[in-house]
């Protein structure tokens, strides 16, 4: 067929056909739209298509929706996590040590010492606390062989025997993650001097308490 004879290019015919299809698509939902309900409560006038649809639906019996498992569903995971934490930390000391609402809890910027069964104690600055229930972990940044080292420790891990606060930061940090300490100008470096002072103070307190108990025992024997 020669479109040049008709006088309209092929593109214009395609546009006209497309417009016709769009008009049919718009007319279809308008014809099947539900008739508005009248304010006086009378039954609205329905089209033939709507009446046929209601007749087909009236032949089927609609049963009520069955209750699903999620109707009275209670998530058991929080209770299981709490039971697991209670098993790993029966005294609740470690939970209290890293709780958010405790004033004496460890905060980012404090110096901690973690003792494990597999190696020597590791001391460093608390950079971050990742609270994930049983998987709660802390990131310490210390120094070994004059090289800055970072290490993650699981708080509730059975291999962790003790977690002690060596030094507390005088002013609370304004950030929850002290990643800026990785820069040379903010790196705290070695914390061995703080650990030595803490051990010395601890031994002094133990000596005083031991001498006091021995004096009390001596007085009791004298009586």
Record the tokens describing residue 130, joined without a space.
């990742």
Task: Give the span between the Cα atoms of 65 and 48, in whole angstroms.
Answer: 30
* Mean of pLDDT values over 30-44: 55
- In the chain, domain spans: 83-207
Second CATH level (architecture) for the domain 83-207: Roll (2.30)
The predicted-structure confidence for 206-223, as pLDDT tens digits, reads as follows 887 766 655 555 555 555
Inter-residue contact 111 to 194 (CB < 8 Å): yes
> Which two tokens mark 178?
């002290």
pLDDT tens-digit series, residues 47-97: 888 888 888 888 887 777 777 766 667 778 888 999 999 999 999 999 999
Strands 111-116 and 160-167: antiparallel
213: its two tokens? 């108990």
Q: Are 36 and 44 in contact (CB under 8 A)?
A: yes
Stretch 10-29: mean pLDDT: 68
Tokens of 60: 């089927």
Q: How much is the pLDDT for 182?
A: 92
End-to-end distance of the chain based on CA atoms, in angstroms?
Answer: 131
Task: Write out pLDDT tens, residues 72-83.
Answer: 677 788 889 999
Q: Note the pLDDT of residue 42.
A: 64
Look at the block and give the residue holding tokens 């209290």. Answer: 96
Tracing tokens 């109707």 back to the chain, one arrives at 71
Other residues' Cβ atoms within 10 Å of the Cβ of residue 108: 20
Q: Sheet containing 147-154: which strands, arranged edge to edge?
A: 147-154, 137-144, 122-130, 111-116, 160-167
């Amino acid at each position: 067929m020669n479109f040049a004879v008709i006088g309209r290019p092929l593109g214009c015919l395609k546009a006209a056909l497309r417009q016709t299809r769009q008009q049919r698509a718009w007319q279809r939902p308008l014809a099947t739209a539900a008739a508005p309900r009248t304010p006086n409560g009378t039954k609205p006038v329905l089209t033939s298509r709507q009446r046929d649809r209601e007749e087909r639906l009236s032949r089927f019996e609609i049963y009520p929706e069955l209750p699903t498992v999620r109707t009275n569903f209670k998530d058991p995971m929080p209770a299981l996590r709490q039971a697991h934490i209670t098993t790993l930390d029966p005294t609740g000391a470690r939970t209290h040590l890293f709780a958010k609402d405790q004033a004496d809890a460890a905060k980012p910027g404090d110096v901690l010492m973690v003792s494990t069964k597999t190696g020597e104690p590791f001391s460093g600055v608390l950079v971050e606390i990742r609270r994930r229930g049983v998987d709660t972990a802390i990131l310490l940044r210390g120094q070994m062989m004059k090289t800055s080292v970072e290490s993650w420790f699981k708080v509730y891990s059975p291999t962790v025997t003790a977690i002690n606060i060596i030094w507390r930061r005088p002013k609370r940090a304004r950030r929850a993650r002290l990643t800026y300490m990785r820069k040379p100008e903010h790196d705290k470096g070695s914390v061995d001097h703080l650990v030595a002072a803490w051990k010395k103070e601890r031994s002094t307190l133990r000596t005083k308490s031991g001498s006091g108990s021995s004096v009390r025992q001596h007085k009791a024997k004298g009586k």
